[in-house]
Structure formats: C-alpha cells, structure tokens
Chain A
Amino acid sequence: MIELLQHIVDGLSLGAIYALIALGYTMVYGVLKLINFAHGDVFMLGAMMGYYASAKWSGEAQNPSFWGAALVGILSMAICGVVGFIIERVAYRPLRNAPRINSLITAIGVSFLLEYGGQNLFGPTPNPFGILPRREALNLGGLSLGYVDVIVFVVSIALMLILQRIVFHTRIGTAMRAVSWNAQVASLMGINTDFIISFTFVLGSVLAAAAGLLYASKYPSVHPLMGLMPGLKAFVAAVLGGIGNVPGAMLGGLLLGLAEQLVAGYWSSSWRDAVAFAMLIIILLVKPSGILGRSDAEKV
C-alpha cells in the first residue's frame, strides 16, 4: 500500500514537470497551429543558463541562497524569453504563410541547432546543478515526500492558473484567442498579430525555462541533450490532454507521469518510454482531439 502511494507521489511530481513543459507546446500550437519542437531545447537552455549564472555568481552551482536562486531564476527566464523571441522572429515568421510542413521541419532544424550547437558551446559533459536549496525529504509514516517534488507540483499548478487567467481574462489573452481563431480577421480588427505571436513565444519560453530550472533541481545533472526526452514526453502530454488546451496539458502531463511511474514500479522500467508513446498512438486513434479537446468543425 505504502509503495503504491509512493509511486503515485513520484508519478505526480514527474507529471507536473511534463505538464509545465506541455503548457508551452500547447500555447504555441493554440495560437499558431505550429508544433514547436525546439521547445524542449529552450527548456534545456533554461537549465543551462541557470547553471552558468549560479556558477558565475556564487561559485556554487548547488544549494544557493534564496535571493541567489531568485536572481538566477529571473535571469535564466529572461534569457530564454529573448531566445524564444529570436527563434520566432528568425526561423518561423518568414514561413508563416508557407505550408505547415515547412515550419514543422524548420522547428526540428532549430531543435537540432540548439542541441548540437549547445554541445559545442557548453561542452557535452553533464554538470551538477540545482536551483532549490537541498533539504531532507519529509517522511510521513514510510512515505517520503521530497520537498523539491512539492515545490514543483505547486509551482506548476500556480503557473497553469496564471496562464489560464492571462488567456481568458486579459486584453492580450482575448487578442491571443482571436489570433488563434483567425489571424487574418484578427488583424483586420486592429490586432497586431506579429506582437501577439511574439508574446506567445516569449511566454512559452519563459515557462520552459522555469520547467528546466525545476527539472534540474529534481535531477541535478544538466547537459545539452537533456531537453530531448522531456520535450518529446511533454509533446505526448499536450496531445493526450488535447493540444491547444491549457488545463488539458496539465492533465495530460500528470497522467503521463503517473502511467510511467506505475509501469516502472509494477512492470519494468524498460517499458516506461514504450508505454508513454503507446499512449500517444492510442489517443490519436481513439480521440484525436485529446481528453479535454473539443473536436472543432472544419472552418471553411
């Protein structure tokens, strides 16, 4: 019984990170209908920037002070926001009216550029880094609750609620939804679509950086290829929940994390990734719009 609870706790905490990355995927898809495969690598950049910032300032890449951590976090998120803006401006905007397959392939290209460019720039060796101070795990009658896990979970839920609020209760959110519905008509109504799309990318990249920092605190080893698997898994999570749907991304992430942990716990860890991707195939066959996604009628 206690093992089952432990598997569930670990699954939710892993799922919360997938959810955080999936939020960025889903937002960009919602507005642009573009699957931004470079998202997982912006996630990596977030963790990398955090590593360099904290190594530079405190000389200690793990266990920083509260203010040190806050500073490093803000800096890393700001850099990733700028990188997200540049990626959209340079790689995606010129292709906005091209067939969708062109932007998809460009996205894969940008992803490889960041991964292998990163290998040259940062070096390929894993480095230890964690933004959250180290502390003992809570022990609740044999059930261990890592405080990093609790923070990851709470931050993910909070960011999701903030995002939901931005999208549905602010002017810029209304504009985002308008662009998502029909970019051409939105621009006729006086909405600056270029600005809205840039804003979406910046917001998504900032979220990715936050996820990267939290992920590095949970698994303290950062390297240029670290974004590959979590990026793909988050993509599965976004599709599972219904791509383009913010609470869906959250739900998809948590479900995926739970499924993976239970498979590894009761079956075999070798099946972990196989099950994750099998879930993608099944959802695409059974309910292609995802668990919370509406199946919109084709707009003519």
Chain B
Amino acid sequence: MRLRSTVLLLAALVACQKQQGSGLVGADAKGPIVIGHVASTTGTEATFGTSSDRGFRIFFDELNAKGGIKGRQIKLVTLDDQGKPEEAATAATRLIASDHVTALLGEVASTRSLWMAPKAQMAHVPMISPSSTNEKVTAVGDYIFRACFIDAFQGFVMAKFAHETLKLSKVAILKDVRNDYSVGLAKVFAEQFTKMGGTIVATESFSQGDVDFKAQLTNIKAKSPEAIFEPGYYTDTGLIARQAKELGLAVPLLGGDGWDSEKLYEIGGAALEGSYFSNHYSVDDPSPRIQAFVAHYKQVTGLVPDSLAAQAYDAAGMLADAMTRAPDLSGPSIRDALATMKNFAGVTGDISLDANRNPVKPAVVLKIGKGGKYEFVTRIQPE
C-alpha cells in the first residue's frame, strides 16, 4: 500500500515536471534565443576563450541591434571551463539541461571540444566549434560543425610551405603528446613532408604544462635540422623558443594556429623572431571584408582581433545564417540548414561545408617579425 502510494506520488511528480517543461518552451518562444558558449576564459589558454567570446558578442550585439532572428533577440550565456576537458563537458551539460540552449558554441581546443561534442550530439543540440581543427571533433556526430579548416589541411599547408617556399629538406618535430591537436598536426605534417621528398630527422615530445624542454631540444640539436615543426600552444611555444635559443639552436620554428596570442611574444621574446605559423586570417590582408571587421572590432574593444576572434565571429555568422534559413528553431531544423551551407561570406573567407561538416577555405602563413609583429607571407589554397 505504502509502496504503491509512493509510486503514484512519483508518477504525479514526473507528470507535473513534464507539463512544466512544455509550458516553459511555450513561454520561451517569445523570449530571447539562448545560445551557450563554453570557453577557457581562465587558465593557460585564457586568451583563446576571451578572444572567442569577444568575437561572438560583437556579432550578436550587431545582430540584436538589427532586430535579431525571427523577431527574437539572442542571449549568449558563456561558461568558463578553466581549460580543463572535464569542466568543458560539465559546462556543456549544464547549458543544455538547465539553460535549454538552442545551439552550443565552443570550444577552441580540440581536446575540450571532443569532450563537449557527445553531450550536444546526444541532446540533438547543434554545436559549432569556432577553432577546433582536429578531424575527430566533427566525426563525433551529425550535429557537430566547425568554422575552421582541419589539421590535415593545416599540416599540409606547413609541409608545403617548408618544402616549396623555405626550400627545407631536414625538419625535426616537437609535439605535445597530451594534446589531440598537436599530435594530429605533427602526424599530417610528417606524412606530407616525407611525401614531398623531405626528411623528418627527429621526433620528440612533451606534455602540456611542462616548463623544461632542454632534454628534447638537445636531442634535436644533435640531428642538426633546418627547422623545427612545433605545433603546440602559445605558452609552451614561448618557453621552447627561448630554450632553443639558449642551447644555440638557431633554426626557425614552424607552428600552427595554436600560437596565435598576444602572450606568445611576451613569453618568447626575440627568440621567436623569424619563425612561421599557419593561421586562419591576417589582419594585414587588404580584403575589404577583413578590414571592415578589424575596424569594427577595434572600435568596440580597442584591441586588434586575433584569428580566434575572427573565427568566432564567423561561427556566430554561420549559426545566425542557419537559424534564419531554418523553418523553425528546433535542433534538427538548424542542423539541416547548417549542413547545406554553401559560400557563406565570412571574414576568414568564403565558407562551404563538405560532407563531413568541415569548411573548405584557404589558410595564411605568417612570419613573426621584429618586436613580435605578424607579417603576412603567403596564402595557401586547398587542393
């Protein structure tokens, strides 16, 4: 008897909750569209999160001023994951379950995007990562998209650049084994560079957060390479550059978009001058679309946008475009609209998505010049 009444009570409670749930959705239809953003706004990659967030907010503020989407305003909710993958997963769950977000934006780091993606996929909430370049991220499921090129392309760009532009034949690799992004880039670079006729003379590794790289650099020095491909993040890269110089290893470092931060030069200093990295766009690019974005960003924040801000701006643009084209704002409708995106005019280039929900667009190579200024070297198109 007792048991049965408990069961009944529970059933009633569940029913109540369900009703409340559907009631909420009804009320929401007039309120703002809530979009979730998971970002590392603190920690060793803090500038990744803060730059992305600025890019998103600038886009949505503009959009809201123009009247929003389907007559509704956009509300961006940003949660910090402190640069920890498990926190990124928790933040994604919280945004989906308690903030009932229409779509998820984030993360920059591939490792953290990989922890978030299953949550979004399971709840059928479309997710767009602005800057995660590891292939595996969008392979999680058909609700996961990105606004940037993938590692295979970035590795190819740097291999082609090292071989054709710099005319190098002996390159060493130093990769971060705790980082999916770094491991992926190193693998593709090694394959492509060898295929083009170059040799990888040494492969050494480190773990994110290490501060001493002398042992690995000493081994690399013994093989006398002409350059070191180091696809890490900016804090590690700054320290690596300084220690390489201290060891008398005077060859350029080559890297990927993980270098892009104003902190890079503060930590690495003059040791970085003469190194190259691939990136999503260059502020010096004369294209009117880029110059208009840079001017607008400077006017609002007083800062020069790094590529993460530009990528975020484009990711928000893709989402807004899909939400406008979708017949309604349910997860599946937005997903279908995103999947058919063709020639979206983004700041970082025209974006079309391929069958694996990855954009096809060009990359740029930048050189670190005197005083840490990025110099535009070349633009490399996808094959």
Contact = CB atoms under 8 A, between A and B. Distances in A.
Bind each other = yes
Interface of A: 2-3, 6-7, 10, 14, 62, 119, 123-128, 134, 137, 139, 142, 144, 146, 219-221, 223, 229, 260-262, 264-265, 268-270, 272
Contact of A221 (B204, B216, B239): B239
21 contacts: A3-B218, A3-B219, A3-B221, A6-B214, A10-B214, A62-B269, A123-B42, A124-B46, A125-B47, A126-B235, A128-B266, A128-B267, A128-B269, A144-B248, A220-B239, A221-B238, A261-B215, A264-B215, A265-B216, A269-B204, A269-B210
Contacts, number: 87
Contacts of B205: 268-270
Interface in B123-175: none
A241 to B, nearest CB: 21
Sorted from nearest, which 8 A-B pairs have the closest CB atoms?
A264-B215, A265-B215, A124-B42, A219-B211, A10-B214, A6-B218, A137-B246, A128-B266
B34 interface: no
Contacts of A219: 211-212, 239
Given A62-B269, A144-B248, A219-B211, A269 B216 contact: yes
Interface string B232-253: 0001001100100111100000
A14 B218 contact: no
A220 B214 contact: no
A142 B210 CA distance: 25
Contacts of B42: 119, 123-125
A39 B46 CA distance: 27
B247 A270 contact: no
Contacts of A272: 210
B331 to A, nearest CB: 34
Q: How large is the interface on B (under 10, 10 to 19, 20 to 34, 35 or more residues)?
A: 20 to 34
B82 interface: yes
Interface in B83-130: none
B188 to A, nearest CB: 21
Contacts of B82: 124
A10 B263 contact: no
A223 B44 contact: yes
Contacts of A260: 212
Given A119-B42, A269-B204, A269-B206, A220 B247 contact: no
Interface in B238-280: 238-239, 242, 245-248, 263, 266-267, 269
B43 interface: yes
A142 B269 CA distance: 23
B294 to A, nearest CB: 24
B69 interface: no
Given A14-B212, A125-B47, A144-B247, A265 B219 contact: yes
